[in-house]
């Protein structure tokens, strides 16, 4: 039997609402039984994207029309009536004075109807509905329509489901969800009474600096206890004269035949019981005639005999345990300390042989022959083999210091062959204490633009070393810009995406940090969530740089959305999908780079697209040191130089704190750069871009940001270090501790393996020079 529900709701009172909020909250619970059974209870919120003007009157008008039209119309079921009520409110709003000055789709509506155990939910615009069931936050499966006011083709979808005991429903504005977060919504509804949960969420919204729309309505279903019966029911005496008389069939002789059939059935049951009992007695008689063993007499054993038996059993067990312990100790001695004098011979021989083999190969390359320049291919092969020999020597127990020193010399030689350069870095700008940088991009005026955790956008002129705050959360038209999260460059504009998915344009007016900030209208119904990793632009006409296409990586749709600008460049039309297929791994994209082709930085590699199709022949080659010096990689940032199919790609590898350089046309490896010792390492890079030199001979400058500030590095190979030949000394193959490429001292080094004191040192035979 379905439980009757008792509904508890909570909402923020008018005096506690923010002055910048124009939202309206509606609660309608009928008191008459007929209306409650047919229409149920109505709950709704109406949110406004902006405040001021007639926004509050418009929200109240929409809520009142929805309530009146829903309870007045009895021509159809709840879903149809709910759709008609929302459309009626939309038409009434369009033709009223309250709609003057309202932008299209600026009002959001969330409506819920509860009738018995049935729940109906519908949302439009920037209003959300969440269902909390079994401590899980769910969103009803329906297509949210556009906001109000809208044209007559407004789409209103109604979701229908069950509303059981313990379930909760939240109707709230999207602005409040973006600031507070869905996890806080679930925790508040699960742990608190609806009124306390609503007040707690509103307090979190105000404490986080939220402004504007703050409507929230919580609903909880509990069980109504059944009424108790105060008196016992008494049976009523029948009024018929034949009540209680045996029933008889109206068909003649039918009762006689029925009685005969019952008598035959009873006799058959009795005969079956007699046969079963007779068979059972016959079987028991046969079993009684079979011979049986007599019950033996119980023998009583004396207490002394029992104790003697226990004593002998305990002695036998102790003897057995002693023999096992003796055998185990003997085997341990035989395999351990007694044979320890034989084991080190094999270990010393293996480790020493591997170390000497690695040292010989290193000397062939870095010694007097100087194969690094004479035969780089052979030198690379020998140094790779020496690296593998050092791994075996370390595993066999060789001296860790000697192995590490020789490994440093081998690594330095391999770095020269792999074009791995160590370069200095310098600091340009440091953020204040307690503040961190989160994003970096080169702006339209060649200055560096930085997002900080203070919810600001900072402009830094790398030439004059002057910094200025150009945009801050809350500035701009309407409710203002939210906390900035993404940056992009579009022609003469700096594009900023805030935490609410809004797009803003900052256009500089001078070189001192002056400029104007304004919002950009984006067409279409696609919402930019926090999962959007990056966006990029491409100028359509070089003579009109203010006209540019906008490309947004959109994981929710699995596409890169392409937005075309309007004629004046002030807004963008509804997007079209860029990819011709729907199987591209957009959810793994981390960054975009556009030069006519679209380069997408994914988890493992860089993907290249042209005209909506992937260029399958393009892929970044594995670095040459992936098999020895620096295995594995984690590509997190990248930047490019040059026009289409010309230039280079610079990729930041977080695993080894380095910058890898690739050919942008075919993905071949060119070189790599690592921060010199004592300089700021390439780690936790939050953004980067390249400044190309005036001529082809000038090395590019890398501008990158870490949480501490902005740094620069000139990506130019330093002068090649000189490698002094090292003479080999029999019996002392260890390298000099002064450095991996330095000349050795005159003092002899100890062998990498300690030899036993009672065994003479063996001098290996030197191999002839190649």
d(CA 549, CA 437): 28
Give the C-alpha distances (Å, rounded to integers) separating 41 from 5, 479, 665. 12, 33, 64
497, 553 contact by CB (below 8 A): no
User: Would you state the structure tokens that stand for residue 524, as one six-digit string?
Assistant: 């279409």
pLDDT on residue 379: 85
CB 82 within 8 A of CB 113: yes
Q: What share of the chain is helix, strand, coil (3-state, %, to 5)?
A: 30, 25, 45
CA-to-CA dists, residue 263 to 65, 247, 249, 255, 721, angstroms: 77, 19, 18, 12, 119
Omega before residue 149 within 30° of 0, cis: yes
CA 61 to chain centre: 41
Pairwise CA distance, residues 440 & 705, whole Å: 6
430 phi and psi angles, rounded to 5 deg: -115, 130
DSSP 738: T
**Positions in the chain short of pLDDT 50:** 1, 345, 724-770
Q: What's the token pair of residue 127?
A: 């209003």
Q: Which residues pair with 7 in a beta bridge?
A: 221
pLDDT at 658 (0 to 100): 94
Using the 8-state DSSP alphabet, how is residue 148 labeled?
B
Check: CATH 3.40.50.1000 for 5-223?
Answer: no
Look up residue 555 and give its two tokens.
Answer: 């994981």
* Cα angle for residues 145, 150, 154 (degrees, 5° grid): 45
The answer to whether residues 744 and 727 touch, using CB atoms and an 8 Å cutoff, is yes
Six-digit token string for 552: 């947004």
The candidate with the shortest Cα–Cα distance to 215, out of 51, 428, 82, 364, is 51
Residue 247 CA, chain-centre distance (Å), reads 77
CA 487/CA 605 separation, integer angstroms: 23
For 606, the enclosing helix (H) or strand (E) is strand 606-610
Please name which of 578, 588, 715, 585 lies closest in space to residue 649, comparing C-alpha atoms.
715
DSSP assigned state of 580: S
Domain 423-714 belongs in CATH node 2.40.160.10: no
Q: Cα dihedral angle (598, 599, 600, 604), rounded to 10 degrees?
A: 150
Distance in angstroms between the alpha carbons of the first and the last residue of the chain: 94
Helix count and strand count (H, E) for the chain: 12, 36
Contact (Cβ atoms closer than 8 angstroms) between residue 651 and residue 606: yes
Dump the DSSP string for 351-399: HHHHHHHHHHHHHHHHSTT-HHHH-HHHHHHHHHHHHHHHHHHHHTT--
Phi-psi region of 40 (alpha: psi -120 to 50; beta: other; left: phi over 0): left
Domain ranges of the chain: 5-223, 344-419, 423-714
Q: Would you call 42 helix, strand, or coil by DSSP? A: strand
Q: Count other C-beta atoms under 10 Å from residue 428's C-beta.
A: 18
pLDDT score, position 768: 34
Count the neighbouring beta carbons within 10 Å of the beta carbon of residue 587.
14
> Tell me, what's the pLDDT at 729?
35
CB atoms closer than 10 angstroms to residue 619: 15
- Whether pTM exceeds 0.75: no
Rg (CA), the chain: 43
Provide the edge-to-edge strand list for the sheet that holds 544-554. Answer: 535-541, 544-554, 559-563, 576-577
Contact 205, 180 (CB under 8 A): yes
- Report the 10 Å Cβ neighbour count for 718: 11
Q: Which residue has the tokens 């602005």?
A: 175
């Amino acid at each position: 039997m379905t439980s009757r529900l008792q509904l508890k709701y909570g909402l923020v009172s008018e005096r506690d609402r923010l002055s910048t909020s124009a939202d309206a909250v509606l609660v309608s619970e009928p008191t008459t039984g007929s209306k409650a059974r047919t229409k149920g209870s109505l709950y709704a919120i109406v949110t406004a994207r902006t405040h001021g003007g007639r926004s509050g009157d418009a929200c109240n008008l929409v809520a009142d029309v929805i309530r009146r039209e829903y309870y007045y119309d009895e021509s159809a079921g709840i879903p149809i009536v709910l759709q008609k009520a929302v459309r009626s409110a939309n038409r009434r709003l369009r033709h009223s004075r309250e709609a003057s000055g309202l932008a299209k789709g600026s009002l959001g509506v969330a409506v819920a109807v509860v009738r018995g155990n049935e729940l109906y939910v519908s949302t439009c615009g920037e209003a959300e509905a969440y269902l909390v069931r079994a401590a899980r936050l769910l969103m009803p499966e329906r297509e949210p329509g556009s906001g109000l006011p809208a044209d007559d083709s407004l789409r209103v979808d109604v979701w229908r489901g069950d509303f059981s005991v313990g379930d909760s429903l939240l109707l709230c504005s999207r602005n409040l969800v973006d600031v507070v977060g869905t996890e806080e919504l679930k925790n508040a509804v699960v742990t608190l009474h609806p009124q306390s949960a609503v007040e707690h969420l509103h307090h979190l919204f105000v404490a986080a600096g939220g402004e504007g729309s703050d409507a929230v309505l919580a609903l909880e279903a509990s069980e109504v206890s059944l009424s108790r019966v105060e008196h016992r029911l008494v049976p009523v005496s029948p009024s018929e004269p034949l009540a209680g008389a045996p029933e008889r069939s109206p068909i003649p002789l039918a009762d006689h035949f029925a009685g005969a059939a019952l008598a035959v059935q009873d006799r058959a049951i009795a005969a079956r019981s007699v046969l079963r009992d007779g068979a059972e007695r016959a079987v028991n008689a046969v079993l009684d005639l079979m011979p049986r063993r007599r019950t033996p007499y119980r023998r009583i054993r004396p207490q002394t005999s029992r104790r003697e038996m226990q004593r002998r059993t305990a002695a036998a067990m102790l003897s057995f345990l002693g023999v096992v312990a003796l055998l185990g100790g003997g085997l341990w001695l035989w395999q351990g300390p007694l044979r320890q004098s034989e084991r080190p011979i094999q270990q010393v021989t293996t480790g020493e042989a591997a170390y000497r083999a690695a040292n010989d190969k290193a000397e062939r390359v870095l010694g007097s022959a100087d194969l690094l320049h004479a035969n780089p291919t052979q030198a690379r092969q020998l140094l790779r083999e020496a690296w593998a020999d050092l791994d075996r020597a370390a595993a066999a127990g060789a001296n860790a210091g000697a192995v590490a020193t020789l490994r440093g010399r081998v690594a330095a030689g391999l770095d020269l062959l792999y074009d791995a350069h160590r370069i200095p870095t310098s600091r340009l700008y440091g953020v204040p204490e307690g503040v961190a940088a989160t994003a970096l991009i080169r702006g339209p005026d060649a200055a560096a633009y930085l997002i900080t955790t203070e919810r600001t956008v900072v402009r830094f002129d790398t030439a004059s070393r002057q910094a200025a705050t150009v945009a801050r959360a809350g500035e701009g038209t309407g409710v203002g810009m939210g906390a900035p999260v993404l940056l992009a460059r579009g022609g003469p504009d700096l594009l900023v995406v805030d935490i609410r998915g809004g797009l803003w344009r900052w256009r500089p007016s001078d070189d001192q940090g002056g400029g104007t900030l304004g919002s950009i209208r984006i067409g279409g119904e696609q919402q930019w969530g926090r999962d959007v990793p990056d966006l990029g632009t491409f100028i359509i006409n070089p003579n009109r740089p203010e006209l540019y296409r906008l490309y947004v990586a959109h994981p929710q749709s699995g596409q890169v959305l392409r937005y075309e600008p309007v004629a004046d460049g002030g807004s963008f039309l509804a997007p079209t999908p860029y990819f011709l297929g729907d199987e591209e791994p957009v959810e793994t994209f981390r960054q975009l780079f556009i030069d006519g082709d679209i380069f997408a930085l994914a988890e493992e590699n860089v993907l290249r697209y042209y005209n909506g199709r992937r260029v399958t022949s393009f892929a970044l080659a594995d670095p040459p040191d992936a098999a020895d010096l620096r295995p594995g990689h984690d590509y997190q940032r990248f930047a490019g130089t040059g026009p289409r199919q010309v230039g280079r790609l610079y990729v930041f590898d977080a695993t080894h704190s380095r910058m890898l350089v690739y050919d942008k046309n075919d993905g071949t490896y060119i070189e790599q750069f690592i921060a010199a010792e004592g300089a700021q390492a390439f780690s936790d890079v939050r953004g980067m871009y390249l400044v190309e030199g005036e001529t082809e001979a000038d090395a590019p400058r890398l501008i990158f940001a870490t949480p501490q500030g902005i740094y620069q590095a000139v990506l130019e190979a330093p002068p090649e270090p000189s490698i002094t030949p090292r003479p080999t000394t029999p019996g002392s193959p260890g390298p000099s501790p002064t450095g991996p490429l330095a000349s050795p001292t005159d003092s002899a080094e100890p062998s990498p393996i300690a030899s036993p004191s009672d065994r003479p040192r063996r001098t290996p035979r030197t191999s002839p020079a190649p």
